[in-house]
Amino acid sequence: MAINVFEGARRIAKLIAVLWVIGVLALQFESLKNPYISANFQVDSPGNTPLRMDGQEYKCGDDDATESWLSKYTNKGTEVKVTLCFKARVVDDGRKLIPIRDDHVANAKRLAEWIGANHDKKGTTKYQEYEAAYNKAIKAKNELISDAKEARELGDPDLELAILRKLAVWGYEKYSPEVSSYTKKVADSFKLSKADEEWADSEVWSIRLENIKECLLIIFGGLIFIWLFSWIFGWIVRGFLSIPTGQDNKP
């Protein structure tokens, strides 16, 4: 009985195709079951609530301090890989420092500018967070000014100076021990807000569908490659053996 090389090759190609599909599904199983969700949160000033940066185009700057790969979970069990971006500020001598104690005056001004430019977002969670941060900064600034005034009235210039210094930014280089200690402390206490949890839970199926599309592209791309390779290889071999296309033996 003659050996049909072409039939054997077709069966090998089918086996490879089946193994390819199984292998891709096995590798992609985790991403399909638990889609990877990441989010960057911006920390503008010490004491401020970290705010989620909308869109993947918003990344931490080169001069920002970061705390990365923090695993946080929603109440529904959705895992979010969090990166905290601690924004650097330019000081008078041109250096970019990470503030670890807040400049209430500058912070209140910055928040007020954002609120003034985003009245159309009034009522949204982000607007409310900025508004709350602004009120907190104003309250802290007024309390320090009041304390400094009392110290001056008491005739204690050293106490007055110490209080006024708290109105200024105290910052350090991003790789300094002071900044590392500060960012770690913030990271350890960080929790997802209710709005961020809802956002993460809502992202699960959209990301899962994207992963499914990617998985199908890989599967069908591999199958097409296997089919083309098998067809071209068979066409070449048939040419050497003078066997017509579509047949396994000479006429």
What would the pLDDT profile of 177-225 be if each residue is shown by its tens digit?
888 988 999 999 999 999 899 999 999 999 899 989 999 999 999 999 9
pLDDT of res. 106: 63
Burial (0-12, 13-18, 19+ Cβ within 10 Å), 67: buried
Measured CA angle at 24 (ends 19, 30), to 5 deg: 135
Q: Cα 58 from chain centroid?
A: 9
Measured CA angle at 8 (ends 5, 9), to 5 deg: 85
pLDDT of res. 184: 92
pLDDT of res. 228: 93
Beta-bridge mates of residue 66: 85
Beta-bridge mates of residue 82: 39, 70
pLDDT of res. 225: 95
Indicate the domain borders of the chain. Answer: 1-33+194-251, 38-102+169-192
Comparing CA positions, the residue from 16, 34, 13, 12 lying closest to residue 24 is 16
pLDDT of res. 249: 74
Q: Within the chain, which residues score under 70 in pLDDT? A: 1-2, 55-58, 90-93, 101-107, 160-170, 248, 251
Strands in 65-73's sheet, in edge-to-edge order, are: 51-52, 38-43, 79-86, 65-73
Would you tell me how many other CB atoms lie within 10 Å of the CB of residue 163? Answer: 20
**Residue 20 to residue 229: CA distance in whole angstroms:** 14
Let me know: does 62 contact 68? Beta carbons within 8 Å.
no
C-alpha radius of gyration, the chain, whole number = 31
Instruction: Compute the half-sphere exposure of residue 59: CA atoms within 13 Å on the CB side of its CA.
Output: 5
In 74-197 the beta strands, taken as DSSP E runs, fall at 79-86, 89-90, 96-101, 170-172
pLDDT, one tens digit per residue, over 113-135 is 888 888 888 888 888 888 888 88
pLDDT of res. 59: 72
Whole-angstrom distance between the N-terminal and C-terminal Cα of the chain?
Answer: 17
pLDDT of res. 33: 84
pLDDT of res. 2: 64
pTM of the prediction? Answer: 0.58
